[in-house]
């Protein structure tokens, strides 16, 4: 199966960020019309994920790919999305597919000496690798936040491994 690609409407910003971090091409639209989202999803062959029942009904009537999230529980929603895409395991981050949480750009792995971005001195001393977004140039490095994200991914993987 191809790596799924997503379009998330205005109600799923945190989910979009998490999917990007996990390595999924995920567009997030804050103020887009239903028609725009439907057309973009169809044209780009991306799964439209929403909490908006009206939008989901429009998708369904057009026989397009969409998912309706039924609650506000982020981890349950992520597990639901991943199961529906037949994904059984998420690799720890950063991984080869990890994307920028801000703009969805692809991250490039760099030696820490290759950045022009000012990294705090204490951080600079403790890291060997940085990641730079190919699109917006945001810089990332492995800190305690990566450990926390991987603990979150461990929870998702446990839930994915459970019977439905």
List, as one string, the DSSP characters of 93-144: SS-TT-B-TTT-PBEEEEEGGG--S---HHHHHH-SEEEEETTT--EEE-SH
Q: What is the total count of domains within the chain?
A: 1
The answer to whether position 59 is within a domain reads yes
The answer to whether position 124 is within a domain reads no
The DSSP element (H or E) to which 52 belongs, if any, is none
Domain containing residue 150: 1-101+143-164
The answer to whether position 42 is within a domain reads yes
The answer to whether position 132 is within a domain reads no
The answer to whether position 73 is within a domain reads yes
Does residue 42 have a pLDDT over 90?
Answer: yes
Does residue 28 have a pLDDT over 90?
Answer: yes
The answer to whether position 29 is within a domain reads yes
Q: Mean pLDDT over all residues of the chain?
A: 90
**Phi, psi for residue 108 in degrees, rounded to 5:** -105, 135
Looking up residue 29, the CATH number of its domain turns out to be 3.40.50
Which residues neighbour 56 within 8 Å (Cβ) at sequence distance 6 or greater? 50, 66, 67, 68
The answer to whether position 71 is within a domain reads yes
What is the C-alpha separation between 35 and 57, in angstroms, rounded?
12
Does residue 1 have a pLDDT over 50?
Answer: no
Tell me the DSSP string of 20-41.
Answer: HHHT--EEE-SS--HHHHHHHH
The answer to whether position 40 is within a domain reads yes
Residue that the structure tokens 């390595």 belong to: 23
- Percent of the chain having pLDDT more than 70? 94
Which band of pLDDT confidence, cut at 50, 70 and 90, is reported for residue 79? very high
Which residues neighbour 61 within 8 Å (Cβ) at sequence distance 6 or greater? none
Does residue 130 have a pLDDT over 70?
Answer: yes
| Interval 89-100: pLDDT, tens | 999 999 889 999
Which band of pLDDT confidence, cut at 50, 70 and 90, is reported for residue 105? very high
* Cis upstream peptide for 61 (omega within 30°): no
Does residue 17 have a pLDDT over 90?
Answer: yes
User: The whole model's pTM is what?
Assistant: 0.90
What is the C-alpha separation between 59 and 69, in angstroms, rounded?
14
The residue-averaged pLDDT of 15-20 equals: 96
Q: Which is more confidently placed, 13 or 84? A: 84
């Amino acid at each position: 199966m191809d790596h799924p690609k997503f379009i998330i409407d205005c109600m799923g910003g945190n989910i979009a960020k998490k999917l990007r971090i996990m390595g999924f091409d995920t567009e997030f639209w804050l103020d887009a019309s239903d028609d725009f989202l439907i057309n973009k999803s169809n044209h780009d062959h991306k799964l439209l994920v929403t909490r908006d029942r009206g939008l989901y009904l429009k998708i369904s009537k057009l026989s397009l790919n969409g998912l309706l999230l039924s609650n506000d529980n982020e981890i349950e929603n992520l597990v639901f999305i991943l199961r529906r895409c037949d994904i059984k395991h998420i690799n720890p981050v950063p991984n080869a597919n990890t994307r920028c949480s801000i703009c969805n750009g692809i991250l490039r792995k760099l030696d820490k000496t290759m950045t022009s971005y000012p990294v705090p001195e204490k951080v600079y001393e403790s890291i060997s690798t940085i990641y730079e977004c190919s699109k917006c140039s945001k810089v990332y490095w492995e800190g305690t936040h990566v450990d926390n994200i991987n603990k979150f991914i461990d929870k998702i993987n446990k839930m994915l491994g459970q019977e439905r």
